[in-house]
Amino acid sequence: MSSRLPVSSQQGLHPRLERTVLRHCRSSWQQPIRQHSRQAFDQVASLAEHAPALVLDAGCGVAESTAHLARQHPDALVIGIDKSSHRLARARDLPDNACLVRAELGDFWRLARQAGWRLREHALYYPNPWPKATHLLRRWHGHPVFPAMLALGGRLELRSNFEVYALEFARAVELTLSMRPEVVSFQAVDPISPFERKYALSGHPLYRVIVNLD
């Protein structure tokens, strides 16, 4: 099935990006944690305690990439997180070292931070692009949870078919941590997830940002 490129009136970085990211760095986000996210976190936290290493697949969808990461990191506990129970229910062939959690990422990341988690790997593959300029705060780098997400450490990889998203993400990392990761365009020869496959088949340019947070 072919897919359309994100359509945005925004050219280049959002004019309020810097102000927004710096505001979020100065204050910690206080919105109450949802009960279902807390319960989901508590369940996985007991597994995480005994795991030699942790990998998160944030916004995993049907968890194809979670399975791939679990095969790549056989000694780690690989946790796929998504808010959609419908998508999670379509997961197939998960290795034993993978598990799936239905939770809001804005909650899960804060709970992981409070629990002192340090990740080995953190995948953020094709988050919803929110291409309208008015939706800056819904993009993860414009969201108040962004500093807590970066604080989890590890090798963080964002993938997107929306170049503005990747460029803003890299700039937001720089504003938060004073190091600027590169935005690299790449070809998905062997797609890691359904969205990557769909975008690759539609001929979209794809972008990745890799940040080493240790």
Ligand X SMILES: C[S@@+](CC[C@H](N)C(=O)[O-])C[C@H]1O[C@@H](n2cnc3c(N)ncnc32)[C@H](O)[C@@H]1O
Q: Which positions lie near ligand X, rule CB under 6 A?
A: 59-61, 65, 82-84, 87, 104-106, 125-128, 193-196
Q: Minimum CB separation from ligand X for residue 168, in Å?
A: 17
CB of 153 vs ligand X, minimal distance in Å: 20
User: Angle 17-26/163-177 helices, nearest 10 degrees?
Assistant: 40
CA distances from 96 to 67, 77, 125 (A): 9, 9, 22
- What would the two tokens of residue 200 be? 């690759």
Question: Is the Cβ of residue 61 or residue 142 nearer to ligand X in the bound state?
Answer: 61
Q: 10 Å Cβ neighbour count for 113?
A: 17
Residue closer to ligand X by CB (options 50, 92) is 92
Could you identify the residue written with the tokens 């945005």? 8
The residue among 155 and 174 lying less far from ligand X, judged by its C-beta, is 155
- Order the strands of the 206-212 sheet from edge to edge: 98-102, 77-82, 54-58, 121-125, 155-160, 206-212, 183-186
Q: What does each C-alpha distance from 152 to 33, 59, 196 come to in angstroms?
A: 18, 16, 25
Sequence-distant (≥ 6) Cβ neighbours of residue 189 within 8 angstroms: none
Question: Please, what is the minimum distance in Å from the beta carbon of residue 87 to ligand X?
Answer: 5
Question: Residue 55 in contact with residue 152, Cβ under 8 Å?
Answer: no
Shortest distance in whole angstroms from residue 131 CB to ligand X: 12
- Which amino acid makes up residue 117? W
CB of 103 to ligand X, least distance (A): 7
Nearest residue (CB) to ligand X, 44 versus 60: 60
Phi, psi of 157 (to 5 degrees): -130, 120
CB nearer ligand X, residue 131 or residue 174: 131
Least separation in angstroms between residue 89's CB and ligand X is: 12
For ligand X, the closer of residues 174 and 194 by Cβ is: 194
